[in-house]
Amino acid sequence: MSAENVPCPSCGATHDPQAIDAALKTCPSCGYHYRMEPMDRIAYIADPGSFVEFSANLRSLNPIDLAGYEEKLSEAEKKARMKEAVITGTCTIENKNVVLGLMSFTFMGGSMGSVVGEKVSRALLKGADERLPVIIYATSGGARMQEGIFSLMQMAKTASAAAELDKAGVPFFIVLCDPTTGGVTASFAMLADVTLAEPGALIGFAGPRVIEGTIRQKLPEGFQRAEFQLEKGFVDRIVPRKEQRALLSRLIDLHTCGCGA
Amino acid sequence: MPNTDKLAKKLQELKKLAEESGLDVTEELSQLETKVKTASQSEQVWKRVELARHPDRPYALDYIERIFDDFIELHGDRYFADDPAIVGGLGFLNGRPVTIIANQKGRTLKENIFRNHGMANPEGYRKALRLAKQAEKFHRPIVTFVDTSGAYPGLGAEERGIGEAIARNLREFSQLKTPIVCVIIGEGGSGGALGICVGDKIYMLENAVYSVISPEGCASILLRDSTKAKDAAVMLRITSGDLLDFKVVNGLIDEPEGGAHLDKDGAAQRIKEVLVRELDDLCSRNPSVLVRYRNLKIRKIGHWNEGTE
């Protein structure tokens, strides 16, 4: 999201875009977290130059022959400057090796089709195989309906891969970013050992408008926000961006065997 | 006469006229033919959606009482409540003890309020998981009947973590060391259906549908017109034939002529035959091998291009 001289949506203060960038795309006044692209995140999470992407060239096909899907993908590619809605790789965080996956909401709303499901699954399985902690930054509107039933099946696929990591006893950390909803919430995003969230992130299964349509009333202020999910018990901690790298590093240390083996 | 039949008849007349008059209208005719074909396909698909949602269509309990002996329903998730939108319990299938988990819709207004129109809350999925774990413990195979328009998109469902409940089921069902056979008997609606539809064998009744989003939802989002549900239903490829072609389901179960609601006993008998055959086979296999194959199968689903640098 471009923040160029636009007042902060939370406090209304106007800041120089550079000041916002320097604050990791947060409002220098109130700490409001703007949405952030994967490449910008890698810069503050990973040790400089350590990120090596894998499964970089996986591309979506059009499994249900939906008219216009290919065009939609090319548009998304240009808009997000990514080949798909998730990027996966290995990197170090304070010299500790990890698998890191990051989703982009700019790429078709971060929706999960075959490629997103496959790349997330490969990241989880790589973690299991090579005994590397897996960290995923999630943001998604849910399953990618343009791939029909295949997108629904990616929920089962990523959950199956998460089970593999679980059985291997390798830690899985997730950071829920604004927004994380639908099929991503109802699969790998809710299956981590430690579930972190960015301040103010919308996190839920059904989208707010769908719920309002069902119950025919307005949702209370703050419904489904990270702070609400913390209160309801579905998030371990809310972590501002500037504290994420240090916290992840400490969590990795805390998940190495504590019994001295 | 359905509209498409009228169109087809008109088309024949035009063809005849063209031949007699010697006019060349080949291109116009072929365009018309395509239109008629699309319209008739759309009507056929929509007929199945209507059958899947038919008010007289047998629901899970109609099948359970016809297929299993001595069914005993078990209630509650042990955390919050009992969710009547998902029923679960124990019974015998031809003498074999099994655990049954199923979406349950209501037929009357009163029943539908009680069953929440078959849209489960988190406690439904948690009850399903509790019973599934119990089945694993006692080496009972699991049969699930899937029939829901989706998980309940309500306030309480979100507060109690419907996303987490479904996610956990997907992970745990993938690992259960006991055979699981799932049958989509009506509507397979999105994550709410998938939450009890991970197993070794997935079957679909002929007129059941299985979809990532309802045709109405897809129409309003993708086509920006909620009245275009019929078109969306065709686009999404949600019929049993599509799902079999996609290898997302293992097999189809034919329904009695005109649909399962016209012969509930007959439909139940057909489902029973499949369940007996599949469980005879699956129960003879090593559970660890079952789990491995179940997961290999799940992880293969999807279409992508590996690409090059």
Nearest residue, CB atoms, A153 vs list B302, B307, B308: B302
Residues spanned by the domain of B258: 57-300
What mean pLDDT do residues A189-198 have? 98
- Which pLDDT does position A185 carry in this prediction? 98
The ipTM, to two decimals, is 0.96
Residue B70 lies in a domain: yes
Residue A28: asked if its preceding bond is cis (omega within 30°), the reply is no
Contact B304 A114 (CB under 8 A): yes
- Label residue B28 by pLDDT band (50, 70, 90): confident
Residues 6+ apart with CB under 8 A from B16: none
pLDDT at A25 over 90: yes
Residue B306, in any domain of the structure: no
Q: Is residue B80 part of a domain?
A: yes
> Which of the two residues, B10 and B112, has the higher pLDDT score?
B112
Asked whether residue B144 is assigned to any structural domain, the reply reads yes
A224 touches chain B (CB under 8 A): yes
Retrieve residue B169's tokens.
């089921």
Report the pLDDT value the prediction gives residue B222, as an integer from 0 to 100.
87
Q: How does residue A30 score in pLDDT terms, banded at 50, 70 and 90?
A: very high
Query: Tokens standing for B65?
Result: 């009482």
Distances (CA, A) of B136 to A156, B82, B175: 20, 21, 10
**Considering only residues 211 to 230 of chain B, which have any Cβ-Cβ distance to chain A shorter than 8 Å?**
211-213, 218, 221-222
Nearest to B155 among A143, A150, A215 (CB): A215
On whether residue B112 sits in a domain, the answer given is yes
User: What domains lie within chain A, and their CATH numbers?
Assistant: 1-34 (no CATH), 36-254 (3.90.226.10)
Would an 8 Å CB–CB cutoff place B157 in contact with chain A?
yes
pLDDT band (50, 70, 90) for residue A3: very low
- Record: contact A204-B163, CB cut-off 8 A: yes
Q: Between A61, A149, A157, which is nearest B211 by CB?
A: A149
CATH number of the domain that residue B182 is part of: 3.90.226.10
B68 part of a folded domain: yes
Lowest mean pLDDT among A234-243, B222-231, B247-256: B222-231
Q: What is the pLDDT of residue A206?
A: 94
Dihedral, CA of residue B179, residue B184, residue B187 and residue B192, to nearest 10 = 10
**Residue of A260 and B149 predicted with greater confidence:** B149
Query: ∠ CA(A132), CA(A138), CA(B297), 5° rounding?
Result: 65
Q: Residues with Cβ < 8 Å from B291, sequence gap 6 or more?
A: B174, B175, B176, B177
Q: With beta carbons less than 8 A apart as the criterion, state whether B100 and B132 touch.
A: no
Instruction: Establish if B99 belongs to a structural domain.
Output: yes
Nearest by CB: A114 against B161, B171, B302: B302
pLDDT digit string (tens) for A130-166? 999 999 999 999 999 999 999 999 999 999 999 999 9
- Compute the average pLDDT of residues B130-139: 98
All residues of chain B having their beta carbon less than 8 Å from the beta carbon of residue A143 are: 190-191, 212-213
For the cut 90, the answer to whether the pLDDT of residue A33 exceeds it is yes
* B169 is a domain residue: yes
3-state secondary structure labels for all residues of chain A: CCCCCCCCCCCCCCCCHHHHHHCCCECCCCCCECCCCHHHHHHHHCCCCCCEEECCCCEECCCCCCCCHHHHHHHHHHHHCCCCCEEEEEEEECCEEEEEEEECCCCHHHCECHHHHHHHHHHHHHHHHHCCCEEEEEEECCECHHHCHHHHHHHHHHHHHHHHHHHHCCCEEEEEEEEECHHHHCCHHHCCCEEEECCCCEECCCCHHHHHHHHCCCCCCCCCEHHHHHHHCCCCEECCHHHHHHHHHHHHHHCCCCCCC
What's the pLDDT at B309? Answer: 56
Quote the number of domains for chain B: 1
Among A77-81, A215-219, B60-64, B287-291, the least confident range: A215-219
Kindly indicate the confidence band of residue B172, based on its pLDDT and cuts at 50, 70 and 90.
Answer: very high
Residue with tokens 């990890």: A98
E-assigned strands of B163-208? Answer: 180-189, 201-205
Structure tokens given for A183: 């099929």
Question: What's the mean pLDDT in A201-205?
Answer: 98
Q: Look at residues B87, B97, B113, B108 and name the one whose alpha carbon lies nearest to residue B185.
A: B87
Nearest Cα residue in chain B from A115 = B304
Q: pLDDT, tens digit, for every residue of B217-239?
A: 899 888 888 889 999 999 999 99
**SS3 readout for B132-158:** HHHHHHCCCCEEEEEEECCCCCCHHHH
- Per residue in B75-91, pLDDT tens? 999 999 999 999 999 99
pLDDT confidence of residue B307: 82
> Is B304–A118 a contact, with Cβ atoms under 8 angstroms apart?
yes
Confidence of residue A199 (pLDDT cuts 50, 70, 90): very high
Per the CB < 8 Å rule, is B303 touching A147? Answer: yes
